[in-house]
């Protein structure tokens, strides 16, 4: 993969294109929950930031399904 970087997604090392945005990562890893929680280096990412927020080498991303049961 040209211009690839390594990041950690849900605890696993993954190789992704450099400058990948969150939106692209959600599509790439087929995350389908409409209320998905995205954590980027320990911080919550707002949905409106998905198309513009990009990852850098060594970043940590967590995709978390929300808990909405009571």
Partner 1 sequence: MLTPEQKERYARQILLPEIGEEGQEKLAQSRVLIAGLGGLGSLSALYMAAAGVGTLRVADKDNVSLSDLNRQLLYAEADIGRAKIEAAADRLSGLNRMCRIEAVDADICDAAENLLGGCHLVIDAVDNVPARRALNRAAVGLGVPMVHGGIDGFSGTVAVMIPGKTACFECLFPEQGRTRPQRAIAALGPVAGLTAALQCTEALKLLLSAGTPLVDRMLMVRADTGAFKSIATRRNPACALCAGL
Is 69 an interacting residue with respect to partner 1 (CB under 8 A)?
A: yes
Q: Which residues of 11-45 are buried (b: 16+ CB within 10 A; e: fewer)?
A: eeebebeeebbbebbbeeeeeeeeebebebeeeeb
Q: Which stretch binds partner 1 (CB under 8 A): 1-9, 15-23, 39-47, 53-61?
A: 39-47
Is 11 an interacting residue with respect to partner 1 (CB under 8 A)?
A: no
Is 37 an interacting residue with respect to partner 1 (CB under 8 A)?
A: yes
Measured between alpha carbons, how far is 70 from 63 in angstroms, rounded to an integer? 21
Binding region for partner 1 (CB under 8 A) = 34-35, 37, 39, 42-44, 46-48, 64-70
């Amino acid at each position: 993969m040209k211009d690839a970087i390594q990041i950690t997604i849900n605890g696993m090392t993954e190789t992704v294109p450099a400058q990948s945005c969150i939106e692209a990562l959600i599509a790439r890893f087929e995350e389908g929950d409409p209320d998905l929680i995205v954590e980027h280096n320990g911080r919550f990412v707002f949905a409106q930031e998905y198309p513009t927020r990009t990852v850098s080498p060594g970043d940590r991303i967590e995709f978390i399904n929300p808990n909405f049961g009571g």
